[in-house]
Structure 1
Amino acid sequence: MEKQANNSLKGIANSLRNHLKILIPLLLFSIPGIAQETNFEDGKDYILGGLTVTGLQSYNEQTVVTYTGLRVGQPIRVPGDEISAVIKKLWNLDLFSNVEMYYTKIEGDQIFLELNILERPTLNNVTVYGVKKRKVQDIIDDTDLKKGKKITESLIANTKNFLQNKYKKQGYLNANVNIATVADTSGTNTQNMVINVKKGDKVKVRKINFIGNEKLSNKRLAKSLKNTKKRKPGRFWKKSKYIEADFQEDLDKLVETYAERGYRDARVITDTFVKVNEKSIDLSITVEEGDKYYFGDIDFVGNTVYSDRVLAQVMGIKKGDTYNGVLLKERVADAGDPDANDITNLYQNNGYLFSTINPVEVSAVNDTIDFEIRIIEGKETFLDHVTVSGNDKTNDHVIFRELRTRPGQKYSKSNIVRSIRELGQMGFFDAEQIVPDIQNPDPNAGTVDINYSLVESGSSQIELQGGFGGGGFIGTLGLSFSNFSLKNIFNKEAYQPVPMGDGQTFALRLQASRTFRVYSLNFSEPWLGGKKPVRFNLSLSRTQQFATGYNSNGRLDVDRSRGFAITGVSAGLAKRVQWPDDFFTISHAVSYQLYDFNDYNSGLFNFGNGSSNSLSYTLGISRSSQGPSRIFPMTGSNFELTAKMTPPYSLFSGKDYKQLKEDIDETTQRLYDLQGDDSTEGQLEFARLQEDLERMEEERFKLLEYFKIKFKGDWYTTLVDKLVLRTNAEFGFLGAYNHDIGDVPFERFYVGGDGLGNFTLDGRDVVQLRGYENQSLTPYSRNPITNNLEQDGGTIYNKFSLELRYPLTLKPSASIYALTFLEAGNAYNNFKDYNPFELKRSAGVGLRIFMPAFGLLGIDFGYGFDTDSRPSSVGPSGWQTHFIIGQQF
């Protein structure tokens, strides 16, 4: 019995040894890194009798078998290269966490194999804690954690490292990210991922230590670190938070600071930070300054187009000047300013696109460095093809007429920059996305193509407003089409929803309430005749103001049978000129207004019946170079000087206006004396004199004569990044030719408030000055008849403002920028009262939102530091809220 048991055990051992002889080599192939080292000399040749795949959960068995490349009936060596290659191939898919190959049986020369696979789990859902909800999708997109992705150890580790590094780069040096996966029972072999982010506080810089500096002070070096500042109480405009990328950029600026002062060999040896606590670090920067150097001889080599003298003038560096490596680079090619006056632009603006300019240090003796500016001018380059793309609505000819680059012209970088500005100023395209693509450069032929890639933005606007004012509800409906096409107005197929594409402007506006109505129509063609930039403008308007009063119940009564109306028409031409430069425009306009009064009296109008006529000519000179966008200009300026004047009728009318003035003054004084006289004779005389005064006043202003001069200037300066300073100055003066006639009661200046020109019935200029109520800085005068103080409008005003702007987004769908401002200004009755230093001051903050369909919307919060001009006002104006509606840029 014992012998039989021993024989059985011996048989089992022999069988197990035979199986292990096959299994162990196969298992060795399933372990990456070992299969490559296996000796195949002990392998045996078989015929593959069958291959099964086990462990699959989501994949089809036949698909896996096909992918292995093994076929039943093929010769196969076990162990051998083919099995090793199959296992490697499956591992490289990164879809499986384990791959093993077994044989299940051997029948003669046939072997049957089993491929056992353990699939990796699939990602179903991702949950992120510790960040704002709106940031979750950004994290999922940045880490590519898409549903259906296979979850691997590498994926988890890479996601964790990416997020931790991301937040550390933002200043969260203590950021910690934990990732866990849990089984998801809703699917087969799926898991959910949970990401827990603990950013902690941003680390601030407590102290910055400089080591090794003797030539430049700690203060000078600290100042060169533009983005990395140590914590300092009271400094809110520059944060002290440590951002790694900003710090590394600042180290380069520190080296540049040395290079600007002659220390060309200066370098940062080490930079370290010491963690003080969870919220603070100390920075240590060790520098090696080196010696101070000076410029020696600067020779130009290879130049034939420009002489050494011309190039030396552009270079602007003389022998003996302190070495300045930064300045040298900028004078050769200033990468930060496309319009810079450097040698590279000098060549590229004159057709030499393929020119290269390299400053080469040829000798350094003691403290003096000699340079050669080596120039390869290349072949003169001309534009072959100029194309545009992306303009789905705007016709090609509207774009091409604004371009300063045309086929056959010499290549000019400055012309390309100017073309980008002109396209941005049109308002039809997103200025941020105008890209000039240089194509097919051919140095041998000296030709190049340019394609302007454009993104259309909305050019039509709808104005629909409702509010209360002027005695009741005010409704406004406005339609403005700034890319209109008049020639297609009868083409039904062109209506989308109106004919578009020719760059014309067509606007309709209706505003109405119980007390007034305003209708206006405007049309503008920027290229009259299509060949020259001559703008034609035509506008028609009709305004009606009804008489109002309050009944015994205190309610407003409106009498539509009494009132006055203004009917106006204006036509103008504006031509872009070439001198002094091609940013200048000269404009001419002729306008006519009929003021018609029907039993209507106001403080400005001393006659209730009759009419006045105003025929005027306006000459304007303007220079507009701001850009690149008209919505958010970052550079350039805009100046406008206009003179509006009527014919001096009194010079040739033959009327004795001096006597008329004396009669008016005498009648006015008599009316003033009769106030309070309740006798029948006094009342009859008062009524008669009032009729006489109205008649004389109508005669005085039957034909309005005046001149009106206005100046407005805006400067735009980019300070840092996209932080822009807008500087503004304005001035206006309304004068008379004949002092016996005096200043007209129209065309005056009303200062204060939001500056919106709604409900301007008499040609007035409404001037914005935030921090005060609308028109509250307009002077008052005493009515000689009623002895009441009445607001007549100023004949002189001046205004100054500083405005800091920063964009939150400049996308085509909506451009948004925040601002803060300082303003000062005032209005005056005459030169006798004029004092340019007696200004009303204010400060505040605001926000602007530009949407193509609705124009500019905004809100300002301003604080007025002074008392306004109203007689009842006492103390500072205080906080005022202003809503901005309309295209005011």
Structure 2
Amino acid sequence: MALTARAHAFEPFKISEIRAEGLQRLEIGTVLTYLPISSGDTLNTATSQQAIRSLYGSGLFQDVQLERDGNALIVKLKERPAITKFKIEGNDKIGGDELKKSLKDLGLADGELFRRDLLDQVEQELRRQYYANGYYDVGIDSKVTEEPNNRVSINIKVTEGKVTKITDINIIGNHVFPTEELLKQFDLKSTNWMPFQKSDRYSKQSLSGDLEKLQSYYQDRGYLKFSVDSVQVALTPDKKSIYITINVTEGDVYKVKGTEYSGNTILNERFLKALTSTKAGDTFSRKEATDTSDRIEAALSDIGYAFAKVSPVPDVDEDKKEVTLKYVVDPGKRAYIRHITFTGNAGTNDETLRREMRQLEAAPYSKSAIERSRVRLSRLPFVESAEVNTNPVPGSDDLVDVDYKIKERAPGSVQFGVGYAGSSGFLITGQVTHTNFLGTGNRIDLSAQNNVYSHAISLSWTNPYFTEDGVAQTISMYYRKSDGVIRYSSGFNTNTLGASLTYGIPLSEYVALRAGLGFEDTAVDTFPNSSSDEILAYVINNGTQFFSYQLRTGISYDSRNRTFFATRGALHSLTADVALPGGDLEYYNIAYRAQQYVPLIWKFTAEINGTVGYVDGYGGKDTPPWENYFAGGPQTVRGYKDGYLGPRDHPTSYFNNPYGGRLRTTAQTNLIIPLPVPSDGKSTRLEAFWDIGNVFAKPSDFNVSELRQSAGVAFSWFTPFLGLLDLSYAVPLNPKPGDNQDRFQISFGTGF
């Protein structure tokens, strides 16, 4: 500030010219650009101060002096030195390309002008980051070397030292809960024998979070006046250990006297009480009070009050140690949706996405409808992910815009590949698929398959919105030639030609009805010397050519968050297919499937997948053998050979191969394990499982002791070229003589 004081000594005068002295790299024009005065202006105390501040503010100069020569203004300057070389070394734990970029943005890089204050800031920030990661013994030595022509080189040398570890965490003042129990709530831990432990690295932010958890632990158990009185963090002189001491006052347990609601509640009190989880006589819990507030806010947001705030205010009676919970409701103004927009949908028509909306424009804001719309978008086969943002309209307190950010996946593919499945051996497949034909959301499938035991070709077209109300229509045609009902046949072949027309009719947001008609023409070939007695008897009684009309019905409930690799929700499906009278076959097939996903702690998920199926003839006709159920393999009971559980050919048969049965019951219980490597959970999955099930010739043969069991591990992965790859290793738990075991099972290509 001495320079400014010097400027104060000027007598005001009119500037005739401006000269600059001390410039090395800069031109006089640059100086004049930053000067707020020019020739002809009067220089006085105010304008001189303004000139000095402006030149310093440019960041180009480290020294500025104003002098007078007659009526000429002399500006004496000392330019900031330029950085010829900037180097930071030794920072293995903190830094990398991100640090270099941030330093460059600050102005610490080759070619920039040197500022000592910036270098000091960098030293402080580096030290802060090392402290946050537990390196309290870090040394940071900055060296600035002057170079010719007003230049400098800067070298920052970091000596990281060893991580400072938490040796002990002690809590003083707790009498109700033992210290060991309280420390379980902490993320920070004292050093133990575990290798690669990181929880013993102290950081102020982590400790603050742990103290909040400690307070919540007490207040959720009635200790309303619990407090943390003081915290001492002691660093040993060698900076290798940290000791943390926490002093607390537990206080008394408070009971809930009652609940009251005030403000503009909007909702009637009976409904509010239904949303309230605490009642008179309960132990006070901050969590329950907060959860109740959240539920009331969510209920208000579903009827348009997007910005509702509900605050639980405890009214404390110290004498009785009771709390009256008063919920103060401020609903704000009712909000309406102005615009719903989509971004990222380059290949999808706006209408295709908009028809999935459960939140409509110009309608009251509904948080649940907006979220349900997002889930519906993410379930579309051509959408990889969907995110939603709600933004208040500027200048309005009752309008909201909703934007869905779509990330599309490739909707179409032309694929050719090879695969392997336990039930069909090696296979060759070709498929043309488009799940979003011309951006309409319509799906077209043309596929062909050829393997040792079967040949098939199929064509289908699905319009998910055949009507504006969401009725889906699927038209399909197919041809299949199979050498037996499983991989190793029972000595007969089938040739089937069929077509169907099926509709999916939504009954509610989660429930849909399936209804359709189809026909099949099936020819059966038998071989006297190798066909089983069962199939020969069926052909003798019923012939070898069969034409049937089929009624296809069913109902399903689906609340899964994804159609594949789901992590929550449920699927219940009941189907009933009937070969109608008038055809050569008369039978019915009833199947029920239940699938449930339950999130567990530590990102584990439980999946329960059970099926029951029953097929039988009616009108005095037998069940077609090719409609029988089979069990064993990846889809039913792993660890047993694909299709080899259940009834076999007649005991006198030479082959004694699986023949299937009319009743199948299976259950797969899977524990989905979070992978130790980064994964979005949408393309890979690791699980431990327990399977149980079997097939029975008829319902009266069902016997719990005949249900086969297995346990093991499985891994699934959507590969770029082979489609879905499934690997499993299972140990049969109760095999019986004659069972064909197959512990390691692999299938791929089936995702094509």
Deviation at 1:331, TM superposition (A): 0.9
**Contact 1:780/1:870 (CA < 8 Å) preserved in 2?**
no
Matched, 1:405 2:365: no
Q: Where in structure 2 are there 5+ consecutive unaligned residues?
A: 485-491
**Contact 1:48/1:72 (CA < 8 Å) preserved in 2?**
yes
**Contact 2:636/2:668 (CA < 8 Å) preserved in 1?**
no
More displaced 10-residue stretch of structure 1: 176-185 or 425-434: 176-185
Deviations 1:315-366 (A, max 9, x none): 2433332222221122122xxxxxxxx3223333334446543333445241
Instruction: Look up the match of 2:303.
Output: 350
Q: Where in structure 1 are there 5+ consecutive unaligned residues?
A: 1-32, 334-341, 485-498, 548-561, 654-701, 756-766
Deviations 1:113-145 (A, max 9, x none): 55342433167888886269xx83333345555
Cα separation, 1, equivalents of 2:65 and 2:20: 10
Instruction: Look up the match of 1:593.
Output: 520
Cα separation, 1, equivalents of 2:146 and 2:431: 59
Cα separation, 1, equivalents of 2:126 and 2:725: 37
**Secondary structure, aligned partner of 1:406:** coil
Instruction: Look up the match of 1:91.
Output: 56
Matched, 1:34 2:19: no
Matched, 1:640 2:573: yes
More displaced 10-residue stretch of structure 1: 503-512 or 738-747: 738-747
Deviations 1:441-478 (A, max 9, x none): 856xxx53442332241251436353365999743232
Deviation at 1:255, TM superposition (A): 0.7
Letter in 2 for 1:158: Q
Tell me which of 707, 710, 731 is aligned to 2:589: 707
Tell me which of 570, 574, 579 is aligned to 2:504: 574
**Contact 2:414/2:431 (CA < 8 Å) preserved in 1?**
yes
Cα separation, 2, equivalents of 1:355 and 1:881: 53
Letter in 2 for 1:90: L
Cα distance 1:383–1:76, how it changes in 2: closer, same or farther (>3 A)? closer
Matched, 1:433 2:387: yes
Alignment TM-score, normalising by the size of structure 1: 0.70
**Secondary structure, aligned partner of 1:323:** coil
Tell me which of 505, 518, 525 is aligned to 2:463: 525
Deviation at 1:213, TM superposition (A): 0.7
Cα distance 1:790–1:878, how it changes in 2: closer, same or farther (>3 A)? closer
Tell me which of 249, 254, 259 is aligned to 2:214: 254
**Superposition pairs of residues 59-78 of structure 1, within 5 angstroms:** 59-69=26-36, 71=38
Deviation at 1:576, TM superposition (A): 1.4
Instruction: Look up the match of 1:158.
Output: 121
Cα distance 1:149–1:728, how it changes in 2: closer, same or farther (>3 A)? farther
Q: Work out which of the two has the higher radius of gyration on C-alpha atoms and give 1 or 2.
A: 1
Cα separation, 2, equivalents of 1:273 and 1:189: 44
**Contact 1:576/1:584 (CA < 8 Å) preserved in 2?**
yes
Deviation at 1:440, TM superposition (A): 6.1
**Secondary structure, aligned partner of 1:565:** strand
Deviations 1:661-683 (A, max 9, x none): xxxxxxxxxxxxxxxxxxxxxxx
**Superposition pairs of residues 327-342 of structure 1, within 5 angstroms:** 327-333=288-294, 342=295
Instruction: Look up the match of 2:472.
Output: 535
Question: Aligned residue pairs: how many?
Answer: 726
Cα separation, 2, equivalents of 1:591 and 1:152: 81
Cα distance 1:862–1:440, how it changes in 2: closer, same or farther (>3 A)? farther
Instruction: Look up the match of 1:843.
Output: 712
**Secondary structure, aligned partner of 2:408:** coil
Instruction: Look up the match of 1:117.
Output: 79
Cα separation, 2, equivalents of 1:240 and 1:847: 35
Instruction: Look up the match of 2:489.
Output: none
**Superposition pairs of residues 497-508 of structure 1, within 5 angstroms:** 499-500=438-439, 502-508=440-446
**Secondary structure, aligned partner of 2:208:** helix
**Contact 1:271/1:283 (CA < 8 Å) preserved in 2?**
yes
Deviation at 1:266, TM superposition (A): 0.8
Cα separation, 1, equivalents of 2:2 and 2:247: 49
**Contact 1:849/1:858 (CA < 8 Å) preserved in 2?**
yes
**Secondary structure, aligned partner of 1:224:** coil
Cα separation, 2, equivalents of 1:837 and 1:237: 48
Deviation at 1:212, TM superposition (A): 0.5
**Superposition pairs of residues 750-769 of structure 1, within 5 angstroms:** 750-753=630-633, 755=634, 767=635
**Superposition pairs of residues 688-699 of structure 1, within 5 angstroms:** none
Instruction: Look up the match of 2:613.
Output: 733
Q: Percent identity?
A: 17
Structural RMSD (CA): 4.5
**Contact 2:588/2:617 (CA < 8 Å) preserved in 1?**
yes
**Contact 1:441/1:449 (CA < 8 Å) preserved in 2?**
no
**Superposition pairs of residues 788-867 of structure 1, within 5 angstroms:** 788-793=655-660, 795-804=663-672, 806=674, 815-830=682-697, 831=699, 832=701, 834-835=703-704, 838-844=707-713, 846=715, 848=717, 857-858=724-725, 860=727, 862-864=729-731, 866=733
Cα separation, 2, equivalents of 1:419 and 1:174: 53
**Superposition pairs of residues 474-553 of structure 1, within 5 angstroms:** 474-484=427-437, 499-500=438-439, 502-512=440-450, 516-529=454-467, 531-545=468-482
Cα separation, 2, equivalents of 1:314 and 1:458: 40
**Contact 1:777/1:868 (CA < 8 Å) preserved in 2?**
no
Instruction: Look up the match of 2:24.
Output: 56
Instruction: Look up the match of 2:245.
Output: 284
**Contact 2:671/2:687 (CA < 8 Å) preserved in 1?**
yes
Alignment TM-score, normalising by the size of structure 2: 0.81
Instruction: Look up the match of 1:457.
Output: 408
Cα distance 1:441–1:44, how it changes in 2: closer, same or farther (>3 A)? closer
Cα separation, 1, equivalents of 2:612 and 2:641: 18
Deviations 1:702-749 (A, max 9, x none): 6363424232312242645xx251322212323323698655322444
**Secondary structure, aligned partner of 1:414:** helix
Cα separation, 1, equivalents of 2:197 and 2:714: 15
Letter in 1 for 2:712: A
Tell me which of 324, 345, 348 is aligned to 1:394: 348
